[in-house]
Structure 1
């Protein structure tokens, strides 16, 4: 490697409340949109749209259904009761930062209450205190693919402008409560996923709509405004806060050097950065106008919305990166690859994981350089990891050398990007402890350095075990990224 990581580089890991906490209705918590996403066995999965889509009848049935085993995010991995044990393991690895999220319905169960749920507020205060005991900095996401399901039923989620005020009440509550315990905040996780998966990202049902994109882009605009107003409120509460935005970032290559393929790849990459253009630059980019026109979308804005967006920009840009793909205008090319809430044509020059995600460490360097050149603000890799069906051997070991290889090569490319001039704040690999999958709600696809004894059906002791990668990542952090093999 040609560069060292900065001395204050933030090494750590990332999880989401709805994938780890469990205790879905304990201590006053309300149901979230994540709590009603049903587990679909592999043999019955048609597409991610099939898994993550939701009709109004399905939503109503899921709210009434009390069978926890059908809805794995309701049980998580019991972080709610085991957080001290888990944080101690993170500290043993040497974490400098832990990315987590706050569950909105744990604070406001239905989303419309005027007073917050004190038990929920105390839980996160206890978590932050435990992190502080080990000098681990929290990086907190306010909305990570969950919101009170009541708001989806009553308002169709973020399609309604009502949610801006309700979200701001929630954000104001936690920003004030934890103003001396949390410095780094993110508003919406992978905000651009609202476009393709409106229920996952915004609690929006598009069943029976002639133009589902109209609802999705309108919801996204309301999230933009809410995010900007949260940035404004946060700076009023504590000027030392650093508030970031967060994208799902997948690099798209042209399948060939045909100009048509290059143009199509350019359009895909532009759309991947559309949301950060709004949140970092403060306005809708010109290229989005044609896209909206072609899909018959008209975004309703109120006077003052554009000024709000311009005046409250993100301090840093964070993103997830797992893979890349290709696009082509040649319809005879059909070899596809699946991935992190996305798909595309396979790249013949890359290997794939057992879930079909193409492994492209150099693509991470490309993305870092492009986004730093585009925005000239600090970047933060807050999700990156390899999902695999880890096996616990008879001797108790979990030999995940494939994960070590994946992570090591991506960390190498981050170092090269730093040498290229990229300002990088930190790295929180995804799923530092095994958790419930965001897309498929399965447990078999594991990401963590820590193995959790639980299967897809929820059976198991929930005991935690250190994988080989646990000891490897400990050395990576101790050497500030220099010892990778």
Structure 2
């Protein structure tokens, strides 16, 4: 069968990792602007994204970008036309990007948006339309206003719901020709990195676990409100949820290991369950009860969840993990902000992430079997060190091989009956790492001449994978 004729091939980025211009044209500070360069944390994301009140205060006082690479990004704010032209040359059908909340509402509490912020994204969308590229817009991608984190401890406070829905309404009014929307990026990540994902400053929480699950509930409610709003304001629009797909296998056939894997996968799915099925799973409610988690959830909010479910499920997939009843014997690994058992049967990247193409097919089959709704792979890729040669070439056969294997497994899932809308690689162009804020951890088909210190020409170079992906899109994945 192969991919559908209107399959949406493209790439994905987040505003806070590419735009830069962190204090330009009225933009306010976001939680991403206090993420420091931290390559010495190794592969343990808990050290990479660690934050407390003192670090936030220090970052606010430091108005330079020396130690905060996301503030400078890759300067896409000023070079978006050049970058979109390169995406068009690859034949992109879709480009996933996020709206920086603080470009529109610098503190998150304004009643009217910053016109320069609105105009910027209107220009970006117009540039995409010029080349026939469909925008896929994420409303919240790890870049909530820092003011809301400091003032309210982020999404742990219900008052943030109104601030977010006001922001979303302006997006729908200002960018009304956008058909595809995502509400919260990797919404389940609140329990793994609460500050980046939900603006929660851990040392300000009396009960961090309680605040994390309350923040998730508040995001579920906000997502339902804006899903309803989007459907009403933009007829024919499609709104999706976004899940970190953490496919977990039992370390052995021991029943205790199988049970451990089941529990991990159940908790991974629950965020999608709420947004797709409109209710909390009974096993998760039992988990809350046993762990003393008491959600402030009104009947009106639960009704909103039931009546405003998403149209499709999008997800990121980078690696699979192992689980065991007793993890003391497991070698642990970390990737995409999660720690789990390392699979000895799989190769790993330079950053220790396991490479499991078959796991992507398993993920697609599991998700489609569970929900029977269209799927969209909106993040997948590998971070590696690339070498820019003297003649301007970058030979990255390893990246081509990675994508070739994953696309082959995607095709098998489609042939098995999965309804797959599209695929956006993470990322089509080199950007600042979400976890370590490194530039040397490169994902793109396009090389950006910037190093970890922010030095370089910012010039863009096409890697070998650029031409390979262009050909894949041209033949709709028939030849890999």
Where on the TM-score scale, by shorter chain, does this alignment land: which range?
over 0.9
Residue-by-residue CA offset, 1:380-434 (whole Å, 9 max, x unaligned): 0000001000111222211111111111111111110011110000000001100
Aligned pairs (5 A) from 1:311-460: 311-460=307-456
* 1:266 matched to 2:279: no
* 1:76 matched to 2:76: no
Which stretches in structure 2 are left out of the alignment for 5+ residues? none
- Give the structure 2 partner of residue 36 of structure 1: 34
Residue-by-residue CA offset, 1:141-189 (whole Å, 9 max, x unaligned): 0000011100001111000000111100000001111112x11000000
C-alpha separation in 2, matches of 1:197 and 1:115:
30
- Give the structure 1 partner of residue 3 of structure 2: 5
- Give the structure 2 partner of residue 176 of structure 1: 173
1:292 is displaced (CA, Å) by 1.8
Of the candidates 128, 131, 147, which is equivalent to residue 125 of structure 2? Answer: 128
Aligned pairs (5 A) from 1:154-193: 154-180=151-177, 182-193=178-189
* 1:233 matched to 2:229: yes
> Could you state the TM-score of these two structures normalised by the residue count of structure 1?
0.97
C-alpha separation in 2, matches of 1:252 and 1:277:
17
1:236 is displaced (CA, Å) by 1.1
Aligned pairs (5 A) from 1:263-302: 263-302=259-298
Q: Give the direction of change, closer, same or farther, for the CA distance of 1:393–1:367 in structure 2 (3 Å limit).
A: same
C-alpha separation in 2, matches of 1:299 and 1:206:
18
- Partner of 1:23, secondary structure, is coil
Corresponding residue pairs, total: 480
1:267 is displaced (CA, Å) by 0.8
The answer on whether the counterparts of 1:354 and 1:388 sit within 8 Å (CA) in structure 2 is: yes
- Partner of 1:250, secondary structure, is coil
- Partner of 1:385, secondary structure, is coil
Which stretches in structure 1 are left out of the alignment for 5+ residues? none
What do you get for the CA RMSD once the two structures are aligned?
Answer: 1.1
* 1:142 matched to 2:132: no
* 1:66 matched to 2:49: no
C-alpha separation in 2, matches of 1:456 and 1:172:
37
C-alpha separation in 2, matches of 1:168 and 1:210:
27
Residue-by-residue CA offset, 1:313-337 (whole Å, 9 max, x unaligned): 0000000000101011234423112
- Partner of 2:377, secondary structure, is strand
1:208 is displaced (CA, Å) by 5.5
* 1:16 matched to 2:27: no
The answer on whether the counterparts of 1:206 and 1:215 sit within 8 Å (CA) in structure 2 is: no
C-alpha separation in 2, matches of 1:84 and 1:295:
51
- Give the structure 2 partner of residue 49 of structure 1: 46
Of the candidates 247, 255, 262, which is equivalent to residue 251 of structure 1? Answer: 247
1:210 is displaced (CA, Å) by 4.7
C-alpha separation in 1, matches of 2:204 and 2:148:
19
C-alpha separation in 2, matches of 1:296 and 1:274:
18
- Give the structure 2 partner of residue 201 of structure 1: 197
